[in-house]
A and B are shown apart, each in its own frame.
Chain A
Amino acid sequence: MTRSVSRRSFISGGIKGGALLAGSAALSPLISACSSSSGGPGTSGSGESTTLTVEIDEGQNAEPWVWFNADMKRTVGVSTTIAGLPFVGQYEKIVAELVARSSAYDVLVFPPYFMGDFVAKGFLRKLTDFGPESAFDLPDVLPVYRDPYLKRNGDLYAANYDGDVLMLTYRTDVFDSHGIKSPPATWDEFLSVAKELHNPPHMYGNAFYGQRGFCYAWFMNIFAAYGGRWFDSKMNPQINNDLGVKALELLIELNKYAPPNELAIGYPQLNQVFLNGSTAMVIQWDDLPLKTESAALGSKVIGKSGYAPCPVRSYMPYSRVMAISAYSANPHNSWKAIQYMNRSSISAKDVYDPGCGEDPFRASQLDPSLVKDHTGQATMPPALATAYVNAIKGCLAEGYPELSIPGAFHYLDTLDLFVNEALAGQISAAGALNAAASEWNTITQSLDQGAQEAAYSAWIQSFQAAGVSY
């Protein structure tokens, strides 16, 4: 039987269809949020996917997941695909996914200074919900990288992937030619050596991370050496004082003995200005020494580099830990992948590979005989490997941990902006630090003063318990 369609019924049908379309368009974010959260906390192990999505800053640091993917599949039955995020900008992209309860990521690899926010907002699953703490061989993890980086309120939320600390890498041949016997042990010495060796455009005295994003860490590295602190017990900022101004003015002064494009220098550029032989000293993360000896990476300073802790203390920016997203539909398998990558036998293969940025975090890894790439090839002559490992030990002996409380990203990013403004000559050192301190007060108040005081106190206690002086 055929049915004729009147104009009235056509219009009426059109309206209903249009309304449905408009309604579904408007509701689609809600629908997707609901559907994506269906695999959230409470999902059982059965029916989980064996292919996991790993969020990590893209580039060299994702390499170990690729190197060991096949073995991981064989050993624990899980394989991974990488969701690469930019190094600067990683925080907002992870948070944007997680506030929407997205299951886009199973395993999150991030710096521990995000941990305060992530735990406070319930973005992470406890690792102990899926297996014993002993599976991560925590006694072997260096104390400074253990509880302050992995635990909150006594609960284990993450496992180490990378241990980071700033280190001085310098040109031994240039030092020798100027009769400089040893690397600078104080910041005044560092400045005078940078001045002496500065001979542009052939040789620049020093270089540091001057781009926006992490330049605050190079300020904190000096500030820590001067005995600076983040806050007092009442969360009053302690950066805008004489010590802070002295540290920032020194960094501004060091800029005079740096390459002309210093304010465009980020992580890869900082490696490059040392590897191309144009800079006498750099303060950089501790993976640079491995690259200095790598012909494959185009190093022009092979056999000409020395390594030492930063003057007085070494700041510990970044590092990476692995955790399970609260909205992962595959938490049990995520645990397996994290446990596999964290194993001593696996992580020892990547922390000395010049092709990635991972660095030692286990006591057992501080062994010069392990300085090899992931295929087992030695990456440094034995004497240099010993000097390198000793330099790491020296850095960690006086390491200064990165702020890791709720809001840490906001505090640090704000500090970074004002340090960068001071470096760009937009504002004085004192003005920059006062402005940063004022912003810090606003952040503290917006996050609840009492809760922040408690979190800061707990964080200090955790790294004091790890033997770090503060």
Chain B
Amino acid sequence: MTLAVLRRGREISRPRKRASAGRRFGRLAVGPATLILVALSVFPLLYALRLSFMSDNLLSAAPMRYVGIENYIALIHDHLFINGLVVTAFFAAAMVTVQLGVGLALALALHRLSRYQQLLATVLLIPSILSPSVVGFQWLQLFNYSGGLINYFLRELHLPLQTWNASPRLALPSLLIVDFWEWTPFMVLLLFAGLRSIPQPIFEAARVDGSSGWQILRYHTVPLLRRTIGIVVILRLVAEFKIFDIIYVLTAGGPGSKTESLAYYEYTQGFSYFNMGYTAAMCVISLIIVIVLVKLILGFTERPLVRLAADTEAP
């Protein structure tokens, strides 16, 4: 082997070595973060999964023992779990739909404004930056039967007073009102940011082509905004599946179990009765449901734009 060949080989292998060292450095650099993630997220997740196959009550003298899928079978027969699932599903479906619809309308209106966009966006953010417990207590006062502001106006208008959060009929709608008030502005802001990222010439071209406002919305705005919509829907869906704070403050799951969400029931089983195995099984089910829903939404929002346009094409 001549010296020239050796030198050429070194020249070729040096960039490779450099790339390989760079990769190694990259892996090592993310090492600490990965370790923290494993310790604080992956390990608890796997532990919860294991726990879901155990009978483990912190207040019982009996030691933790393996029970197979007993906890999961018990869940099927637990009417409060089913009730929690139904309440949560209704809450999430209603809120995501309404907040998205109203949020999009308000975002479009905000986008059309030529002035005060920043000011309005800041004002809109106020409900969403308040602590949910504070929001709960604030609405508790508003819903108060004898001294609340809402019933005051009803009284002034000679309308019948309502018991809002105490009524079996109105308790869940009352929670929906609070959640709508708190989180719709958040939806508006994210959608508004999404609208601002769409290149304006697209809309101008559509207008030149004679598209109506509705057509622009349907065939341009919504398809181009679909990734943002996907993100806000996922964020709100996950949050609605965890809905707890305002229920804890406003209704405590009542009257009866009318407003007992899945998260509230999980809290009761886990931190009032300390049935850790059973609670872990509930959490695993919740996680699976959320993952499936998120996957479906992502599948829809990640579809190629051309195919999406074809699907929505007018006859």
Kindly list chain B residues whose C-beta atoms are within 8 Å of the C-beta of A446. Answer: 55, 57, 60, 62, 275
Kindly list chain A residues whose C-beta atoms are within 8 Å of the C-beta of B212. Answer: none
Q: Contacts A99-B274, A264-B166, A407-B59 given: A424-B255 contact, CB under 8 Å?
A: yes
User: What CA separation (Å) do A22 and B34 show in the bound complex?
Assistant: 9
Contact in complex: A410, B252 (CB < 8 Å): no
Interface residues of A in 374-433 (CB under 8 A from B): 406-407, 409-410, 413, 417, 420-427
Contact in complex: B255, A26 (CB < 8 Å): no
Q: B145 near A: Cβ within 8 Å?
A: yes
Interface centre among B31, B79, B166 (most CB of A within 10 A): B166
Q: Per-position contact with A for B31-66: 1 when CB-CB < 8 Å, else 0?
A: 111011011100100000000000101111110000
Q: Per-position contact with B for A252-271: 1 when CB-CB < 8 Å, else 0?
A: 00000001111111000000
User: What CA separation (Å) do A261 and B238 show in the bound complex?
Assistant: 33
Contact in complex: A426, B32 (CB < 8 Å): no
Kindly list chain B residues whose C-beta atoms are within 8 Å of the C-beta of A91. Answer: 272
Kindly list chain A residues whose C-beta atoms are within 8 Å of the C-beta of B130. Answer: none
Kindly list chain B residues whose C-beta atoms are within 8 Å of the C-beta of A88. Answer: 252
Contact in complex: B165, A121 (CB < 8 Å): no
- Which single member of B38, B60, B255 contacts A420 (CB below 8 Å)? B255
Kindly list chain A residues whose C-beta atoms are within 8 Å of the C-beta of B60. Answer: 446-448
A329 to chain B, nearest CB (A): 23
- Which single member of B25, B166, B168, B257 contacts A425 (CB below 8 Å)? B168
Kindly list chain B residues whose C-beta atoms are within 8 Å of the C-beta of A212. Answer: 252-255
Interface residues of B in 213-248 (CB under 8 A from A): none
Q: B161 near A: Cβ within 8 Å?
A: yes
Contact in complex: B258, A426 (CB < 8 Å): yes
- Which single member of A19, A92, A210, A451 contacts B61 (CB below 8 Å)? A451
Instruction: State how many residues of chain A have any CB contact under 8 Å with chain B.
Output: 52
Interface centre among B252, B268, B273, B275 (most CB of A within 10 A): B273
A23 to chain B, nearest CB (A): 7
User: What CA separation (Å) do A26 and B31 show in the bound complex?
Assistant: 15
Q: B271 near A: Cβ within 8 Å?
A: yes
- Which single member of A96, A211, A260 contacts B161 (CB below 8 Å)? A260
Q: B29 near A: Cβ within 8 Å?
A: yes
Q: Contacts A25-B39, A426-B256 given: A260-B59 contact, CB under 8 Å?
A: no
Chain A residues touching B, majority SS: helix
Q: A18 near B: Cβ within 8 Å?
A: yes
A19-B32, A212-B253, A425-B256 are known; give 5 further A-B pairs, CB within 8 A.
A17-B32, A26-B39, A261-B145, A262-B166, A417-B257
Kindly list chain B residues whose C-beta atoms are within 8 Å of the C-beta of A453. Answer: none
- Which single member of B31, B40, B254 contacts A263 (CB below 8 Å)? B254
Q: A70 near B: Cβ within 8 Å?
A: no
Contact in complex: A19, B35 (CB < 8 Å): yes
Closest residue on chain A to residue B25 by CB atoms: A11
A187 to chain B, nearest CB (A): 23
Q: A363 near B: Cβ within 8 Å?
A: no
Q: B167 near A: Cβ within 8 Å?
A: yes
Contact in complex: B43, A22 (CB < 8 Å): no
Kindly list chain B residues whose C-beta atoms are within 8 Å of the C-beta of A451. Answer: 61
Q: A15 near B: Cβ within 8 Å?
A: yes
User: What CA separation (Å) do A417 and B269 show in the bound complex?
Assistant: 13
Contact in complex: A420, B35 (CB < 8 Å): no
Q: Contacts A91-B272, A263-B168 given: A423-B255 contact, CB under 8 Å?
A: yes
Identify 12 residue pairs between A and B in the complex whose beta-carbon atoms are under 8 Å apart, listed by A's number: A22-B36, A25-B40, A121-B59, A263-B163, A263-B166, A263-B167, A265-B166, A417-B80, A417-B256, A446-B62, A448-B60, A448-B62
Contact in complex: A25, B36 (CB < 8 Å): yes
User: What CA separation (Å) do A21 and B43 show in the bound complex?
Assistant: 16
Contact in complex: B40, A26 (CB < 8 Å): yes
Contact in complex: B43, A426 (CB < 8 Å): no
Q: B28 near A: Cβ within 8 Å?
A: yes
Kindly list chain A residues whose C-beta atoms are within 8 Å of the C-beta of B58. Answer: 95, 99
User: What CA separation (Å) do A422 and B256 show in the bound complex?
Assistant: 7
Kindly list chain A residues whose C-beta atoms are within 8 Å of the C-beta of B167. Answer: 263
A421 to chain B, nearest CB (A): 3
A220 to chain B, nearest CB (A): 18
Closest residue on chain B to residue A17 by CB atoms: B32
Kindly list chain A residues whose C-beta atoms are within 8 Å of the C-beta of B25. Answer: 7, 11
Q: Contacts A117-B59, A260-B163 given: A14-B39 contact, CB under 8 Å?
A: no
Q: Per-position contact with B for A13-53: 1 when CB-CB < 8 Å, else 0?
A: 01101110111011000000000000000000000000000
Kindly list chain A residues whose C-beta atoms are within 8 Å of the C-beta of B257. Answer: 417, 420-421, 426
Contact in complex: A261, B163 (CB < 8 Å): yes
Contact in complex: B31, A15 (CB < 8 Å): yes
User: What CA separation (Å) do A92 and B39 show in the bound complex?
Assistant: 26
Contact in complex: B32, A15 (CB < 8 Å): yes
Kindly list chain A residues whose C-beta atoms are within 8 Å of the C-beta of B252. Answer: 88, 211-213
Contact in complex: B28, A427 (CB < 8 Å): no
Interface centre among B31, B35, B38 (most CB of A within 10 A): B35
Contact in complex: A264, B165 (CB < 8 Å): yes
Q: A120 near B: Cβ within 8 Å?
A: yes
**Interchain residue pairs A-B with the least CB separation, the first 3:** A18-B32, A264-B166, A421-B256
Q: Per-position contact with A for B252-281: 1 when CB-CB < 8 Å, else 0?
A: 111111100000000010011111000000
Contact in complex: A15, B273 (CB < 8 Å): no
- Which single member of B32, B79, B145, B272 contacts A21 (CB below 8 Å)? B32
User: What CA separation (Å) do A383 and B23 show in the bound complex?
Assistant: 89
User: What CA separation (Å) do A264 and B252 show in the bound complex?
Assistant: 10
User: What CA separation (Å) do A212 and B268 show in the bound complex?
Assistant: 13
Contact in complex: B43, A424 (CB < 8 Å): no
Kindly list chain A residues whose C-beta atoms are within 8 Å of the C-beta of B271. Answer: 92, 96
Kindly list chain A residues whose C-beta atoms are within 8 Å of the C-beta of B163. Answer: 260-261, 263-264
User: What CA separation (Å) do A426 and B253 show in the bound complex?
Assistant: 13
Interface centre among A88, A212, A265 (most CB of B within 10 A): A212
User: What CA separation (Å) do A448 and B55 show in the bound complex?
Assistant: 13
Contact in complex: A264, B145 (CB < 8 Å): yes
Q: Per-position contact with B for A179-220: 1 when CB-CB < 8 Å, else 0?
A: 000000000000000000000000000000011110000000
Q: Per-position contact with A for B78-90: 1 when CB-CB < 8 Å, else 0?
A: 0110000000000
Interface residues of A in 221-277 (CB under 8 A from B): 259-265, 276
Interface residues of A in 439-461 (CB under 8 A from B): 446-448, 451
Contact in complex: B256, A95 (CB < 8 Å): no
B65 to chain A, nearest CB (A): 12
Contact in complex: A420, B254 (CB < 8 Å): yes
User: What CA separation (Å) do A23 and B168 show in the bound complex?
Assistant: 49
